Amino acid sequence: AYQLSSGNSQGGSAVLDFLLAEVENQRSKICFILAGYAKQMESFFAHNPGIPSRFPLEVKFEDYTDQELLKIMGSKIDAKYSGRMKAEEGLQGLYCRIATCRVGRARGKEGFGNARAVENLLSVIYRRQSDRLRVERREGSRPDDLLLTKEDFLGPEPTNALLKSKAWVKLQELIGLDSVKESIKSLVDSVTVNYQRELDEKPII
């Protein structure tokens, strides 16, 4: 709705004027609902003094809690695989909880997608699983296609990721750049500490 009052919206003002007139003309006949993010809607309502009086009722939908995001993720996995996909520690288990808590940290920020954020998370999880299965098969093992592992949910452990990083290995071979190397190592150490705190279900620092 707020795009109608945007300076970049061609013809938006004309559409808005027509809409406000129709709200009056169709009173008690048609229910008009304006939807959008809270901050932008506040600017939209301030744009024209006639808008608030024509839309007196306001309903705010709170962002999903971590527990609700967890249920959404579990239900989406079950729906996609008809309940056959298993998860290490279970769909309500530790790794699923950590993954959805990571999503939930964006709660309250502009653009937080709620269920859409869970969809994006699942896309990452499925991609990790696909990469892992391909590597394991190439190494001669027979992995379970219907199992999501800790690494699928959380990504590689930070320390292991650094050791396997070609860029890090190449940087170590360069002479000098000690401050750069130390900064990267310090950052990874911080990520590693928070990774362990997540596993202990403690707040990150």
Evaluated on CA atoms 76, 95, 192, 165, the torsion sign reads: negative
Q: Who's near 150: CB < 8 A, 6+ residues apart?
A: 88, 89, 95
Looking up tokens 């288990």, which residue turns up? 93
Looking up tokens 């993954």, which residue turns up? 99
Residues 36, 25 contacting (CB under 8 angstroms): no
Write out pLDDT tens, residues 166-183: 888 888 888 888 898 888
Domain spans, the chain: 2-54, 63-155, 156-200
Q: Who's near 96: CB < 8 A, 6+ residues apart?
A: 70, 73, 74, 87, 89, 90, 153
Write out pLDDT tens, residues 98-152: 999 999 999 888 778 889 999 999 999 999 999 999 999 999 999 999 999 999 9
Q: Mention the CATH class of domain 63-155.
A: mainly alpha
Write out pLDDT tens, residues 28-70: 888 888 888 887 888 778 777 778 888 888 888 889 999 999 9
Q: Who's near 73: CB < 8 A, 6+ residues apart?
A: 91, 96, 99, 100, 118, 121, 122
SS3 for 87?
strand
